[in-house]
Structure 1
Amino acid sequence: MSASAALYTREVLALATSLAAWPRDAALPLTSHARAPTCGSTLDLGLALDAVGAIDRIGLRARACAIGQAAAAIFANAATGRTSADITAAVGEIEHWLQGGPAPNWPGFDAIAAARDYPARHGAILLAWRAALVALEQRG
């Protein structure tokens, strides 16, 4: 099995295509754009929050490799109900995981575990969480 075949598994590709479930909606009030400098992947994100400030709705448009798209789907699958503090904690956990630490406390990372060995993909993995932090800062 080639390295790319081990990286781009059926599960990764299925996650990447599942992003269609969260189309980018211009009506979402909190928006951001993120770019991974190492690979040029980009992500446009929109969020709406509930009355207590937790993520209620999400929309994404990713222009990224399958790993970046799969990571964005992992984010979207578990983002509802998360707060700014949750997203901040997740970014720290993901960064630690990418450096060889334990898996982050966010469901689904097992699907992209092989990408940890590809530093050029790390920025794409973090796109959705970083974009969410920027969007959440707009709450004022």
Structure 2
Amino acid sequence: MASDTDLIKLYSGRILALAADIPHRGRLENPQASVKKRAPLCGSTVTVDLDVEDGVITRFGQDVKACALGQASAALMGAHIIGRSRAEIETARDALRAMLKEGGDAPGAPFMGYEVLSPARDYRNRHASILLSLEATAEALAEAERATACA
């Protein structure tokens, strides 16, 4: 069981600052794709709206209703999301998952900064919330690509 001191360390000033300043906050009007994901353990949700052109994200919006860790993760992703491909999103998602669950390295460029969430490794009930924004974005990007291919 985590002590109160451990929880205070987990919610560092950097995490709280990220959570307070999420880039691309809000929904888009008429997006090509929209995906809502929910973390079943904690109830956190992230809704992602986006547009894609030539395989990269050109417009992005996110509605984040999550704990500070999920919000910080959404902020890190949002800071680098415009111009990213599905392969880059999926690579970052997989690296973040490995960082949390297997002690792997944090995602690399262009998705820098996720190492701030490494203390959350010991809090499995927070992993789903931390992964939500990247998972929703990967799904939305795949959805937009399918819609474009069918058009």
TM-score with structure 1 setting the length: 0.90
**Structure 2: gaps spanning 5 or more residues:** 147-151
* 1:19 equivalent in structure 2: 22
* 2:41 equivalent in structure 1: 38
* 1:85 equivalent in structure 2: 87
- The residue type equivalent to 1:112 in the other structure is L
* 1:75 equivalent in structure 2: 77
Which protein shows a greater Rg?
Answer: 2
Task: Confirm whether residue 118 of structure 1 aligns to residue 123 of structure 2.
Answer: yes
Q: CA separation in 1, counterparts of 2:59 and 2:25?
A: 9
Distance 1:20 1:89, change over 3 A: closer
- The residue type equivalent to 2:61 in the other structure is G
Give the total of aligned pairs: 139
- The residue type equivalent to 2:127 in the other structure is H
- The residue type equivalent to 1:121 in the other structure is R
* 2:13 equivalent in structure 1: 10
* 2:149 equivalent in structure 1: none
The answer to whether the 8 Å contact 2:18/2:76 transfers is: yes
- The residue type equivalent to 1:41 in the other structure is S
Distance 1:62 1:53, change over 3 A: same
**Shift of the alpha carbon at 1:38?**
2.2
Cα deviations across residues 73-116 of structure 1 (Å, max 9, x unaligned)? 11111111110111111222111111211222121112222112
Q: CA separation in 1, counterparts of 2:73 and 2:23?
A: 14
**Structure 1: gaps spanning 5 or more residues:** none
Name whichever of 125-134 and 1-10 sits farther off. Answer: 1-10
Task: Identify which of 92, 107, 123 aligns with 2:112.
Answer: 107
- Equivalent residue of 2:96, what SS? helix
- Equivalent residue of 1:31, what SS? strand
- The residue type equivalent to 2:103 in the other structure is G
**Shift of the alpha carbon at 1:66?**
0.4
Q: CA separation in 2, counterparts of 1:111 and 1:137?
A: 28
TM-score with structure 2 setting the length: 0.84
- The residue type equivalent to 2:97 in the other structure is E
The answer to whether the 8 Å contact 2:39/2:45 transfers is: yes
